[in-house]
Structure 1
């Protein structure tokens, strides 16, 4: 089985194109994961006035070759709903409200889903570049 130098050159060009495209792929997948996480955390958030549910936000940070997704809520009682809290009356603890763990559960699900989402995007881009 013989091959021409031009074929190797073409493959090298395609590999270079894939390397360039990988940055776009990472950003694209990070954006999709962040949007999916926001939808999920909003679904899991209990609603009284709607303030807590409507204030979920995200930022995507690039640190070296890694993208980090930061999901946050600026509502002052968000942590108490997430983690739970004591009920204190007249200085005595009379009960405890369990946490809803909406952010923690969302994070666990995204950690499970993100690798497959990234893999699909890389495969799709690979097929596009190689013309398969």
Structure 2
């Protein structure tokens, strides 16, 4: 049989997801980084909105999964004080990329919505 999914294994998953949340936050930042937004027509930006929403959802889901796994590790039996403290620390540390991803993703979607509504046809190159 395989190994049981105990609190230590859950803590390893939580820490791994914490490190992956840094990459997902960078992915959210990259999705909202626009070099020259007025070079594209509004149709391009209308197509970008759902893509940026999905990237934001993934970028927020990874730190949220890290927090949930850390919380599950804290309450797994048998309870160990070191794991409870480490789980709380991982959950608090995962809160930072969660909030940053939420902010950057919301900003990226808002910028795409703004440029989708921007209808000056002479401002972008065809």
TM range (shorter): 0.3 to 0.5
CA radius of gyration, larger in:
1
TM-score, length of structure 2 as denominator length: 0.37
Higher helix share: 2
Higher strand share: 1
TM-score, length of structure 1 as denominator length: 0.36
